[in-house]
Homo-oligomer: A and B are copies of this chain.
Amino acid sequence: MSEELAARGQTTAAQVRKDLSHFGSFGKRGLGYRVRELRASLQRIIGVDRPWRVALVGAGRIGLALFEYPAFRARGYECVAIVDSDPEKIGTVWGNLTIRGPEEFETIVASLDVELIILAVPGPAAQELAARAVDAGVKGILNFAPIRLNVPPRVPVEDVNLIMELEALSFAITQAQRDA
């Protein structure tokens, strides 16, 4: 069982067991893990055993792709608001949501209980919006802007930097060729 999990996760059985043991004891010796139970426990530990309320900040190209991506909702991330500063976009409707202006941002976060934001605005706007989001009570940020956000340490930030991913590929390829 830990063997199979290891194979799927590209790691070793011992690592799987050690990692799980860090959070508790889930399996039965001689038997393995009961999948539904383990799954439920892990969901609870990770915090994905309940829906999360998300606001999309920046209704641009990447924002649109993300908004239309059904897997988010399927996994419990529910987009409850969209904010953009472009006057042409404010008031237009995406799905069941109307795009709002940034002056309403704090009100939206507070009234809709937004916990997470997806920040998909250009770099220069990102820091200010992040700070405002944090002040308004947002608890975490998924950041697509290519800057390091300066927020209090209690607010986790996950950066998505696709250029770094491409550069990691370039490095791996260059490296492999150097070896050969």
- Tell me whether B163 and A160 are in contact (CB under 8 A): no
- Tell me whether A166 and B46 are in contact (CB under 8 A): no
- Tell me whether B167 and A48 are in contact (CB under 8 A): yes
Since A75-B163, A116-B169 are in contact, a sample of 16 more A-B pairs with Cβ atoms closer than 8 Å, ordered by chain A residue number, is A46-B170, A47-B171, A48-B167, A61-B65, A66-B162, A69-B162, A72-B162, A75-B167, A77-B163, A77-B166, A115-B173, A140-B169, A140-B172, A142-B165, A142-B166, A160-B162
Query: Which residues does chain B contribute within 8 Å of A160, judged by CB atoms?
Result: 160, 162, 165
Count identical subunits in the complex: 2
Q: How far is the CB of A40 from chain B (nearest CB, A)?
A: 15
A45 to B10, CA, bound (A): 27
A134 to B169, CA, bound (A): 14
Chain A contact residues, CB within 8 Å of chain B = 10, 45-48, 52, 54, 61-62, 64-66, 68-69, 71-72, 75, 77, 115-116, 139-142, 146, 148, 154, 156, 158, 160, 162-163, 165-176
- Tell me whether A46 and B169 are in contact (CB under 8 A): no
- Contact of A156 (CB < 8 Å), options: B54, B71, B158, B172: B172
